[in-house]
Copies of this chain bind each other. A is one copy, B any other.
């Protein structure tokens, strides 16, 4: 299951993609039913990862930097949820060897989980924010 944070991030990005222009945190919060203070932290994280930009001051807000067609759920999953794989030894970007596995090469669980990861990744990567925009 996604965390609330991850789900909010997706919803916020969808909203921003629909608007297409600079939007206030408050507007996103109201429209997507996200606690404003919590949303602030999420937007800052999205900014750090280069998905959105911000403008400070009275007429400030946030806006998409990258095109909505190039933001996919696989990338967002890695940022807010961690590895796509179900076990670390089957992960690609978050790979860590098992400590409780005597033979990594022949470990059937790892091989199976790698297959699960690859399938899941393909599905998630194909879903872009643009595809989640209404009439998109």
Contact = CB atoms under 8 A, between A and B. Distances in A.
Interface of A: 1-2, 7, 10-11, 14, 32-34, 73, 82-83, 85-88, 99-100, 106, 108-109, 112, 115-116, 119-120, 123-124, 127, 131-134, 136
Tally of this chain's copies: 2
Among A33, A34, A108, find the residue whose CB has the most chain B CB atoms closer than 10 A. Answer: A108
A119 to B, nearest CB: 5
Contacts of A131: 108, 112
Given A14-B109, A34-B100, 7 more contacts: A1-B82, A1-B85, A2-B87, A108-B136, A115-B123, A116-B124, A119-B123
A99 B33 CA distance: 9
A120 B115 CA distance: 11
